[in-house]
């Protein structure tokens, strides 16, 4: 059994990223399809409620905690390690930050905020909702893939550390 705590930090980061990927994948696979298949006012209202409840979720805590965790792991690996584990850790962090965190902050969140500001029954809401569904889901595919790759990187780092 490995005694290096870094193995366990990488395992937790990898599994957390995989859980985040699962949530994103669910939205890409069927949640958004279901929401965009109903009347635009209903789909938009349901998405608004999802966006509001996410602020009180374990998902958001995990999603946000991966940012400092990734930065700390990458910093530690960059300055104190060499070899495969260092490469996997840095690759994981450098994947998560732009493809998951920044895509969320710069892509999905502004769309969510715009949706929240619209009157549910106004004609422009229907037009926006149709565009929103396509654009938001496309960005979500990026987040899903980024989270999967990050999870694989951190789990590979744990494996490299445990066999070193």
Structure tokens at 153: 């990187």
Tokens of 31: 């949640």
Query: What's the pTM?
Result: 0.94
Q: CB neighbours (10 Å) of residue 31?
A: 18
Q: Give me the tens of pLDDT residue by residue for the chain, a chain 164 residues long.
A: 567 999 999 999 999 999 999 999 999 999 999 999 999 999 999 999 999 999 999 999 999 999 999 999 999 999 999 999 999 999 999 999 999 999 999 999 999 999 999 998 899 999 999 999 999 999 999 999 999 999 999 999 999 999 97
Residue 63 is inside which H or E element, if any?
helix 58-80
Domain ranges for the chain, please list them.
Answer: 5-162
pLDDT of 156: 98
Residue that is written with structure tokens 């569904």 in the block: 133
DSSP state of 54: G
How confident is the model at residue 2, as a pLDDT? 65
């Amino acid at each position: 059994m490995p005694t290096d705590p870094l193995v366990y930090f990488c395992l937790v980061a990898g599994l957390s990223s995989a859980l985040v990927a699962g949530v994103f994948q669910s939205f890409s696979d069927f949640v958004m399809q279901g929401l965009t298949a109903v009347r635009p006012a209903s789909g938009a209202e349901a998405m608004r409620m999802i966006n509001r409840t996410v602020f009180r979720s374990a998902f958001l805590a995990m999603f946000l905690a991966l940012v400092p965790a990734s930065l700390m792991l990458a910093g530690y690996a960059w300055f104190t390690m060499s070899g495969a584990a260092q490469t996997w850790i840095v690759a994981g962090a450098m994947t998560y930050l732009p493809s998951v965190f920044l895509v969320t902050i710069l892509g999905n969140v502004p769309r969510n905020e715009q949706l929240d500001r619209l009157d549910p029954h106004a004609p422009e809401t229907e037009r926006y909702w149709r565009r929103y569904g396509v654009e938001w889901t496309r960005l979500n595919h990026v987040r899903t893939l980024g989270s999967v790759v990050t999870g694989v990187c951190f789990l590979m780092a744990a494996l490299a550390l445990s066999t070193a």
